[in-house]
Amino acid sequence: MDNEEWAIEVESGPAHDVEPLRDDGPHALALAHLFDQIVGDAYHARLGRLCYYGPEVMARELRLRADLTPGGNVTSVGVVVLDHLPEDLGHPQRIYWIRRRGKPMTSLGPEWKCLAETDVLTPKVQWWGIWIRLSGIFNRLDWLDRAMAKMRREFSIKGHGRGQYQLSIWTRSDPHYG
């Protein structure tokens, strides 16, 4: 494609031993939510590169979006990491930390501040999933459509919650860093 030279570059970090996220059904939608938010933020933060620590199979979704996104300064780097932070992160300007439910969040230290937290695939989605199954049993497609709309509306929320995935976006506390 013509824009490869100007797009945000995505490079895979060293091997990062975690299970891939599921990419079927609502999990595929969750991935889209997560990566849209990450690449959208990277664009507005004028990052030039994203360093990705996670299963290669998921990197495709990240690259798809980054390829369509003009890159900023090539020395401005964001780290996208799944579940646990690697010991050596380098010197990024941003950290995009995706955690599955139950995975602990460790402190990043005073040099980092959290800009945003998003809870994806929230418990309410599972509740609406019951309605979706009931609509199948009673053959009520109108219920199904209504439940699907409600489910999408409550699919992700701002803040820390009990969803299947949490995304936190971190920036340097010192605005003059780098």
Q: Is 63 in the site for another protein (CB under 8 A)?
A: no
Q: CA 23: distance to chain centroid?
A: 13
Contact stretch for another protein (CB under 8 A) within 49-57, 67-75, 87-95, 97-105: 67-75
**And the tokens for 148?**
């699907």
Q: Is 53 in the site for another protein (CB under 8 A)?
A: no
Q: Is 49 in the site for another protein (CB under 8 A)?
A: no
Q: Is 176 in the site for another protein (CB under 8 A)?
A: no
**And the tokens for 54?**
């996670």
What DSSP designation does 120 have? E
**Strands lying side by side in the sheet with 112-120:** 9-12, 47-53, 73-82, 94-100, 165-172, 112-120, 156-158
Q: Is 124 in the site for another protein (CB under 8 A)?
A: no
Residues interacting with another protein, by CB under 8 A?
A: 1-3, 29, 32-33, 36-37, 39-40, 43-44, 64-65, 68-70, 118, 120, 140-142, 145-146, 152-153, 155-158
